Amino acid sequence: MSHKHHKNMNEEDEQKRAEKGAQAEAPEQAAQETAQQAEGPEAEVETLKAKLEESKNDYLRLYADFENFRRHSSEDRLKLIGTASADLIKGMLPVLDDCERAVKMTAETAGEDSPLLEGVNLIYNKLLEYLKGKGLAIIEAKGKDFDTDLHEAVAQFPVQDEAMKGKVFDVAQTGYTLNGEIIRHAKVVVGI
């Protein structure tokens, strides 16, 4: 036998052994592929369920974040409107004070039954009612106990009546609240 022939035989033997090995491995591979295919749909369903649950949670978080953003934006808008309104009303307080002084002066000079007093009183009341409609309220002080949360003492006055000690004897400047918040303390004279 020639060397060439012997070499071809060895190659053929190796090829036959490789084919037999491949045939032996083929059933194992086929079994694994079949098992993976059998597991595949169930595993794929579970994977998809997990992804769906994750997407649902992401959606709910995003929706909650949006709702919080919307609520905060709405609150901020209302707060801004309230602040602008408060600034406007605070600016009107000196005008209201002037009207209040005009009523007192007209009553003193023109008399209680004067048509002039009636006109000035009408203007003052219209302005006050309009501002009350926007949330303004007068801090009642005269005759009340002195309260540092509501009143600012500008003077003390000796009083004969023991019941008036520590109470507001007179109001130098009216105090106001706007929607329950103090925007100006009442400037008062306290009895001692």
**Distance from C-alpha of 155 to C-alpha of 146, rounded to nearest angstrom:** 12
pLDDT at residue 62 in the model: 94
Burial group, residue 175, by CB count within 10 angstroms (0-12, 13-18, 19+)? buried
What is the CATH code for 135-192? 2.30.22.10
Q: What is the pLDDT of residues 98-149, one digit of tens each?
A: 999 999 999 888 888 889 999 999 999 999 999 999 899 999 998 899 998 9
pLDDT tens by residue, 10-37: 566 666 665 555 554 555 555 555 545 5
Could you state, in order of their start, the residue ranges of all structural domains in the chain?
135-192
Ranges assigned E (strand) in the chain: 136-139, 151-157, 168-173, 175-178, 181-184, 186-191
Q: At 112, phi and psi to the nearest 5? A: -70, -25
Question: What is the end-to-end Cα distance of the chain in Å, rounded?
Answer: 140
* pLDDT at residue 132 in the model: 93
